[in-house]
Amino acid sequence: MSTNLTIGKAINAGLRRAMEADPKVLVMGEDVGRLGGVFRVTDQLHKDFGADRVIDTPLAESGIVGTAIGLALRGYRPVCEIQFDGFFFPAANQTFTQLAKLRRRSAGKVSVPVVLRIPYGGGIGAVEHHSESPEAYFAHTAGLRVVTVANAVDSYWMIQQAIRSDDPVVFLEPKRRYYEKAEVDTDAALESAAPMGRARIARPGTDATLLAYGPMVKTALQAAEADEERSIEVIDLRSISPVDYATVTESVRRTGRLVIAHEAPLSLGPGAEIAARVTEECFYHLESPVVRVAAFDTPYPQSRLEEHYLPDLDRVLDGVDRAFAY
Amino acid sequence: MSTNLTIGKAINAGLRRAMEADPKVLVMGEDVGRLGGVFRVTDQLHKDFGADRVIDTPLAESGIVGTAIGLALRGYRPVCEIQFDGFFFPAANQTFTQLAKLRRRSAGKVSVPVVLRIPYGGGIGAVEHHSESPEAYFAHTAGLRVVTVANAVDSYWMIQQAIRSDDPVVFLEPKRRYYEKAEVDTDAALESAAPMGRARIARPGTDATLLAYGPMVKTALQAAEADEERSIEVIDLRSISPVDYATVTESVRRTGRLVIAHEAPLSLGPGAEIAARVTEECFYHLESPVVRVAAFDTPYPQSRLEEHYLPDLDRVLDGVDRAFAY
Amino acid sequence: MSDTTAHDEPELVQLLTPDGELVTHPDYPLEVDADQARSLYRDLVLVRRVDTEAVALQRQGELGLWASLLGQEAAQIGSGRALRDGDMAFPSYREHGVAWCRGIAPRELLGMFRGVTNGGWDPDEHGFQLYTIVIGSQALHATGYAMGVQRDGALGDDGEAVIAYFGDGATSQGDTNEAFNYAAVNNAPVVFFCQNNQWAISEPLDRQSRVPIYKRASGFGFPGVRVDGNDVLATLAVTRAALQNAREGNGPTLIEAFTYRMGAHTTNDDPTRYRASAELEEWKRKDPILRLRTYLEKQGLADEAFFAGVDEEADRIGEQVRAECRALPDPGPLEIFDEVYAEPNVHIDRQRADFADYLASFEDAGAEGGR
Amino acid sequence: MSDTTAHDEPELVQLLTPDGELVTHPDYPLEVDADQARSLYRDLVLVRRVDTEAVALQRQGELGLWASLLGQEAAQIGSGRALRDGDMAFPSYREHGVAWCRGIAPRELLGMFRGVTNGGWDPDEHGFQLYTIVIGSQALHATGYAMGVQRDGALGDDGEAVIAYFGDGATSQGDTNEAFNYAAVNNAPVVFFCQNNQWAISEPLDRQSRVPIYKRASGFGFPGVRVDGNDVLATLAVTRAALQNAREGNGPTLIEAFTYRMGAHTTNDDPTRYRASAELEEWKRKDPILRLRTYLEKQGLADEAFFAGVDEEADRIGEQVRAECRALPDPGPLEIFDEVYAEPNVHIDRQRADFADYLASFEDAGAEGGR
Ligand SMILES: Cc1ncc(C[n+]2csc(CCOP(=O)(O)OP(=O)(O)O)c2C)c(N)n1
Ligand SMILES: Cc1ncc(C[n+]2csc(CCOP(=O)(O)OP(=O)(O)O)c2C)c(N)n1
Ligand SMILES: [Mg+2]
Ligand SMILES: [Mg+2]
């Protein structure tokens, strides 16, 4: 059955399907129960699966991730919602020193298949701590897989893949794109979906590669459309860790130019690693240095400044121009 | 007076001098009092300055940084010891969402001159969580300054500069080098010391630039010595955020090659940003892609494997070879 | 849940019954003269008006968000008025009434909700720190600050005290509990003021605590007290006593102000999704303003002219808030780079300069007739 | 600090006095026959021997570190023996005695301290999770696991219970307190077992808590009890009762086992820097092994042959521990990349392959006669 779904509703539908398929799947977090989450991503799940499987937790993120680990050790597959990106940090210890390392610590005797769902990124006019892009912290941490989505189709499938994965997965949801819609064939087999580790060529092109993920994919596609002079290939990265370098370097070798756009701050953002790595692997193919278009190295500013802070269409186009200035 | 000091003792002497100079300087952390810290870096301070200025805190890192912020808001200059790198994470929320952002939040009306001293890095044969190199998490966080030391002279001066700074400073101490010695002129004026933001050319050379910081500077110098064929310039970065790109790019333009060595995991480690940035700024000067020699993207392994995990002399030399393979 | 809760319903310190009757409490004697009572009433009404205006401004698109204090006026004015000049308050994000008592103009609060600043007032000038959104964080800041007060030797009868505000939900956070412990171990002069408004967004109290919140304190070794947070007199008396205790060097107290969030969590929230309207109706009968007004009327401490005067003043302030909100200047783009660091920072300076050039390129392009 | 501590010295549950006299406690009846008493004695002696050997092995450079349980044997054997097969324990890093009760061979513990693994035994096989070094973390894991037990419907008289071990210092951590609260709110079948050995490295108890630790529980709404941790019988009885209470669905209990760390914090530590030797002397008189031996002797429950037999067994185990430690195989370099992820990971595979090539280059070079 093909349904027109927003990203938010597609994640909701994916969660529902995962919960139906496996009684061990739990949903937990602040306000995920009766309210259905502040973004309604868990809407109706409490009603249909009950309070034992859809758990309104105390207001304590370390507790959410820490008890999820315990539930996973007991054989459950908890899907935790961290209400906003900026409220992940109280859970940093449980995520970085426990969740990410338990498998390795146990020499593989233990799996902790926990999913952390985190609405992330800016652009919604919010107060402080509600617009962060913390993906670099996760991607720098061995033991975690980090994925993000840019459309409803991927949202529906990738949340299910994340839940099925025996690795802990940080599932980043582009909150300002929650209402973007697409047709989703919700009856297809999970196995038929593209693996969540694979990057996707969202728009083919020949003159430069424009790489984005999550909320910036839409901006990248708009930029590619807007550029009438050059043929821009757009890659939707999907997996931030590990990065699908095969797809990325194949594209860059063809186009000779790479522009990376993300909302995370520039310095030590995911673009830094991709730029360094692609330069290593495509040194003789690059006509220009890899160009990065990112947020500035400042705290996310008050919302009246966010349109300047976030890379927008113009900044991405400016980045493309810079790539062609060499 | 010139004294022969280890890095550990030089930090101790610097702390003492800062406490003598300014009654608002406090030292706090787990076991920093009577014990003088597990590495004895705060040795004797409790005896000489009393329990009000050298505070044995409860075993709670969020509490250490959180109360230090409060003390700073009251006009104090707390120097917090986080006992080991791996135990920083419970303090991540206070450090990233509060300490780093309070000045900006207050539009400059508030300063939080807190120093976080963290013994970091591996190579001491320790159990898990005692050998981490978390500098990338800090360097990706706007609002923090991140510095590290490679010798006793810098240790003595930079800890004092960090304490004087009105910005929050993460002061990373290379624990496996605590016992390295040097002559320190402890009577010189603080103003005469090189600013902590400045990189240092630790060994001049002409054929390639080898950049390291903290514990890897010694290894880098050994590698440069060991390479009899090529003239390697070694840069001791000192400040990880902000990076002194003026010094780095000047060197790379001269040598045409850059090798970066650090103990932090490769992906999204500080080397990624430096590689990306230097490539942008020195695109036409680079004879080869920037080469990174780093720890692997795995959790720090059990200690019997650390000699393989940490970049050593051979791995650094291999990196230099790779730079010349282009 | 076990039946631990059921057993001992906690005693609620109350000086003014919901019917506006003055009662006494052995531990919390309070003398309020007519002037004081009227002035408390005035504060309650005015902060409610500021709040109502802010909600309306949000509806009109002038604010991005607002966290209403509706129903919590007495808890805030009572505790806020208990503070002395040298005291320091560490608020959460809903303490508009306390801010009012500390002399923060409503305009300054609006800036953050409008998105033109992230806070911005001078904490030292007002004895009122910036709003803190990450739940629990400020409890540790307050405790550290109080440790500074100790080190400054600023204790004693004329000494200084510190107060930390947070909600019922916040008591679940590790930071809040660490603060309780740091304060206890250090005997720090800090009062923990928990406004238990029964809800943390959609989660009722029983998701946060198995027992009444004030009991938490005893586990850390300091006193906890539950006060009727809709009773401005009791809140004033209990907070004053706790602050005095703190400033005299006797350490922390946890005050649980039992109150109710009569509005939505914020303007983004829709409480009909998770709570019964009957509950709200019940609490409307305990309205903190009504209660004090009844008292004033019954005792003949205020006449119609007084009430009309306060309402007029509220109208004026409402108008002023609307005007000032609209007049709040937008920040300029380059302010993104301001005050990230106290000291010169080459990296930020470079990004600022590059961005200035980038912005200027549009102006040039504009001058030349488009990009 | 205020004098809250001084007031009410907590009652200590004791069934065996330091002089080896059996006493009764109304709440904790315990029947121990001679066999059981002797077997407890045997465990105490054997784990102490394992510990002594491990300290020696560290001195000889065979281990990188060791955290000695000296003095805490009764707290660990008493609580460990209270566990049933299906129960799950979440240890900190010093629970060698509990590990013993759960059937973990000493060899498996040594691996982590020797640096050949980071843990490595199978938690499910033994009902004993991996050692956890980051203080407080495991309290939340235990609570979550217990929530899983609830969801599995594994409660009731024959049900399962969970126990979390941690130290006095750990009670200051946010995570530990969050665990208390999650357990309370969810009425989870978990027992929090705090070995209060009076020290957190160099910090005495008064830096961690203003009041006795068992009191913390009441603030979260569940029972706390202080037991003489050097009394193996009392610890057994109190833990058994708490576990039973948990498995029957009555929620968490906090047990404070009052004991003493007779050795250094770890082999890296030098306690003479921070504590008086008189304190140690005093606690030596309360030695948990001595106490049980006196009881066995006085009651004629064991004879010289028994004691000699246990000592001989200890000698044998000591020898075995030494031999097995030295025989622990070193991991191969490429194991760095193992089990970082459960699923195939291109990135790790690539790093592994590159490193294998790099290592091979030396072998080639070696074969060719040098780099
Ligand atoms: C660490 C953290 N997690 C989550 C949030 C999102 N959040 C904002 S307010 C709130 C509920 C707070 O409830 P309570 O402490 O009772 O205060 P109240 O809003 O009722 O005044 C939540 C979950 C946050 N601000 N900080
Ligand atoms: C989060 C964290 N901070 C610091 C440490 C370093 N550390 C290891 S043991 C210890 C003291 C623990 O004391 P306690 O909880 O009483 O347990 P004990 O060692 O006495 O058994 C400290 C500070 C750690 N392991 N984890
Ligand atoms: Mg509330
Ligand atoms: Mg201890």
B280–A297 CB contact, under 8 Å: no
Position A233 scores a pLDDT of: 98
Residue of B nearest to D132 (CA): B128
D274–B308 CB contact, under 8 Å: no
B34–D112 CB contact, under 8 Å: no
Point out the catalytic residue in the list D81, D102, D240, D261: D261
Cα distance between residue A109 and residue A92, in whole Å: 23
**Helix locations, chain C, DSSP H:** 4-7, 34-59, 73-82, 96-101, 106-114, 123-126, 137-151, 174-186, 216-220, 232-245, 277-284, 288-298, 304-327, 346-367
Residue at C289 is within a domain: yes
Position B1 scores a pLDDT of: 81
Position D369 scores a pLDDT of: 47
Statement to judge: residues D63 and D211 lie in one domain: yes
Report which DSSP code applies to A127: -
Type and span of the H or E element at A78: strand A77-81
- CATH number, domain with residue C131: 3.40.50.970
Residues of C in contact with D171 (CB under 8 A): 181
What is the model's pTM? 0.98
Statement to judge: residues D270 and D365 lie in one domain: no
How far apart, in Å, are the Cα atoms of A265 and each of A309, C153, C267, C351? 9, 43, 29, 12
Statement to judge: residues C63 and C104 lie in one domain: yes
Whether the CB of C229 sits within 6 Å of ligand 1: no
Statement to judge: residues D269 and D285 lie in one domain: yes
Burial label for B188, CB within 10 Å (0-12, 13-18, 19+), is middle
Contact status, residue C148 vs residue B74, Cβ threshold 8 Å: yes
Q: Rounded to 5 degrees, what are φ and ψ at C191?
A: -110, 125
* D residues 236..255 contacting A (CB < 8 A): none
Across residues C235-256, what is the average pLDDT? 98
Statement to judge: residues D218 and D117 lie in one domain: yes
Tell me, yes or no, if D187 comes closer than 8 A to chain A by beta carbon: no
Q: Low-confidence residues of chain D, pLDDT below 70?
A: 1-10, 365-371
Residues near ion ligand 4 (Cβ under 5 Å): D 167-168, 197, 200
Task: Please tell me the number of Cα atoms within 13 Å of C323 on its side-chain side.
Answer: 6
Counting ligand 1 atoms within 8 A of each CB, the residue from C135, C138, C196, C258 with the most, and so the one to mutate, is C135
Report the domain count for chain D: 2
How far apart, in Å, are the Cα atoms of C94 and each of A261, C31, C91, C133, C195? 37, 29, 8, 9, 10
pLDDT higher than 70, residue B260: yes
Contact status, residue D331 vs residue D120, Cβ threshold 8 Å: no
Position D363 scores a pLDDT of: 84
Give the gap in angstroms from C-alpha B269 to the nearest C-alpha of chain D: 15
Position D9 scores a pLDDT of: 61
Cα distance between residue B89 and residue A142, in whole Å: 15
Burial C94-133, CB ≥16 within 10 A → b, else e = bbbbbbbbbebebbbbbbbbbbbbbbbbebeebbbbbbbb
Statement to judge: residues C177 and C293 lie in one domain: yes
Tell me, yes or no, if D251 comes closer than 8 A to chain C by beta carbon: yes
What tokens appear for A170 in the block? 């940080």
Q: Of the candidates D118, D148, D175, which has its C-beta nearest A105's C-beta?
A: D118
D172–B59 CB contact, under 8 Å: yes
State the CB neighbour count (10 A cutoff) for residue A280.
17
Point out the catalytic residue in the list A129, A130, A140, A285: A130
Last residue of a domain, one of D327, D343, D358: D327
**Helix locations, B74-151, DSSP H:** 92-93, 102-105, 135-139
Q: Which of C181, C93, B170, B69 is nearest to A86 (CA)?
A: C93
Q: Of the candidates C115, C169, C273, which has its C-beta nearest A125's C-beta?
A: C115
Point out the catalytic residue in the list C81, C102, C261, C293: C261
Confidence of residue B49 (pLDDT cuts 50, 70, 90): very high
Cα distance between residue B297 and residue B268, in whole Å: 10
Whether the CB of C170 sits within 6 Å of ligand 1: yes
Q: pLDDT tens-digit profile of C148-194?
A: 999 999 999 999 999 999 999 999 999 999 999 999 999 999 999 99
Statement to judge: residues D360 and D308 lie in one domain: no
Residue at D38 is within a domain: yes
Burial label for D123, CB within 10 Å (0-12, 13-18, 19+), is buried
**Residues in chain D, total:** 371
D274 is a catalytic site residue: yes
Percent pLDDT > 90 in chain C is 94
Residues of A in contact with D126 (CB under 8 A): none
Q: At what angle do helices A216-226 and A313-324 cross, to 10 degrees?
A: 60
Statement to judge: residues D221 and D342 lie in one domain: no
D340–B298 CB contact, under 8 Å: yes
Residue of D nearest to B51 (CA): D207
Q: Rounded to 5 degrees, what are φ and ψ at A304?
A: -65, -10
Contact status, residue D72 vs residue D259, Cβ threshold 8 Å: yes
Counting ligand 1 atoms within 8 A of each CB, the residue from A87, A89, A127, A175 with the most, and so the one to mutate, is A87
**What range defines the domain where residue C20 resides?**
6-327
Position C370 scores a pLDDT of: 43
Across residues A34-38, what is the average pLDDT? 98
Tell me, yes or no, if D153 comes closer than 8 A to chain A by beta carbon: no
User: What's the sign of the alpha-carbon dihedral C150, C154, C156, C158?
Assistant: negative
Residues of A in contact with C355 (CB under 8 A): 296, 308
What tokens appear for A152 in the block? 């409803």
Q: pLDDT tens-digit profile of B179-231?
A: 999 999 999 999 999 999 999 999 999 999 999 999 999 999 999 999 999 99
B138-141, long-range: CB < 8 A, 24+ apart: B138/B95, B138/B170, B138/B240, B138/B241, B139/A267, B139/A268, B139/B240, B139/B241, B139/B270, B139/B273, B140/A136, B140/A137, B140/A140, B140/A265, B140/A267, B140/A268, B140/A269, B140/B268, B141/B95, B141/B96, B141/B100
Residues of C in contact with D203 (CB under 8 A): none
Residue at D1 is within a domain: no
Confidence of residue C364 (pLDDT cuts 50, 70, 90): confident
Whether the CB of C201 sits within 6 Å of ligand 1: yes
Across residues A51-56, what is the average pLDDT? 98
Chain centroid to CA A238: how far? 7
Q: Which of D220, D221, D219, D259 is nearest to D238 (CA)?
A: D259
Cα distance between residue B237 and residue C226, in whole Å: 56
> Minimum-distance ligand to the CA of C269?
1
Cα distance between residue B254 and residue B231, in whole Å: 12
pLDDT higher than 50, residue B292: yes
Whether the CB of D200 sits within 6 Å of ligand 2: yes
Residue at D205 is within a domain: yes
Whether the CB of B30 sits within 6 Å of ligand 2: yes
Confidence of residue C8 (pLDDT cuts 50, 70, 90): low
Whether the CB of B90 sits within 6 Å of ligand 2: yes
Question: Which atom of ligand 1 lies nearest, measured to the CA of C171?
Answer: 15
Q: pLDDT tens-digit profile of B58-72?
A: 999 999 999 999 999
Point out the catalytic residue in the list D38, D102, D247, D265: D265
Q: Which of A127, A207, A163 is nearest to A26 (CA)?
A: A163
pLDDT higher than 70, residue C225: yes
Tokens 């301290």 belong to residue? D113
Going by DSSP bridges, is the β-strand pair C190-196/C253-258 parallel, antiparallel, or unpaired? parallel
Cα distance between residue A289 and residue A322, in whole Å: 9
Whether the CB of C202 sits within 6 Å of ligand 1: no
Residue at D360 is within a domain: yes
User: What's the sign of the alpha-carbon dihedral A52, A58, A61, A62?
Assistant: negative
What is the CA(B243)–ligand 2 centre distance, in A?
A: 35
Residue at D127 is within a domain: yes
pLDDT higher than 90, residue C88: yes
Q: At what angle do helices B7-21 and B152-164 cross, to 10 degrees?
A: 30
Residue of A nearest to D182 (CA): A58
What is the CA(C169)–ligand 1 centre distance, in A?
A: 6
Residue of B nearest to D336 (CA): B301
Domains and CATH numbers, chain A: 2-192 (3.40.50.970), 200-323 (3.40.50.920)
Statement to judge: residues D42 and D148 lie in one domain: yes
Residues 6+ apart with CB under 8 A from A290: A258, A259, A260, A271, A274, A275, A278, A279, B276, B279, B280
Helix (DSSP H) and strand (DSSP E) numbers for chain B: 12, 14
Report CA Rg, chain D: 22
A276–B292 CB contact, under 8 Å: yes
Position C11 scores a pLDDT of: 86
Statement to judge: residues C257 and C296 lie in one domain: yes
On average, the pLDDT of chain B sits at 98
Statement to judge: residues C255 and C363 lie in one domain: no
Statement to judge: residues C111 and C198 lie in one domain: yes
Contact status, residue C64 vs residue C115, Cβ threshold 8 Å: yes
- Degrees to nearest 5, angle at CA D342 with A96 and A108: 85
Question: Which atom of ligand 1 lies nearest, measured to the CA of B93?
Answer: 1
Residues of C in contact with D219 (CB under 8 A): 211, 215-220
State the CB neighbour count (10 A cutoff) for residue D277.
9
Instruction: List all chains that touch chain A, counting a touch as 3 or more CB pairs closer than 8 Å.
Output: B, C, D
Residue at C1 is within a domain: no
Residue at C196 is within a domain: yes
Type and span of the H or E element at B225: helix B216-226
Q: pLDDT tens-digit profile of A102-126?
A: 999 999 999 999 999 999 999 999 9
State the CB neighbour count (10 A cutoff) for residue D274.
19
- Degrees to nearest 5, angle at CA C144 with C142 and C150: 105
Residue of A nearest to D89 (CA): A70
On average, the pLDDT of chain C sits at 95
Question: Which atom of ligand 1 lies nearest, measured to the CA of C201?
Answer: 11
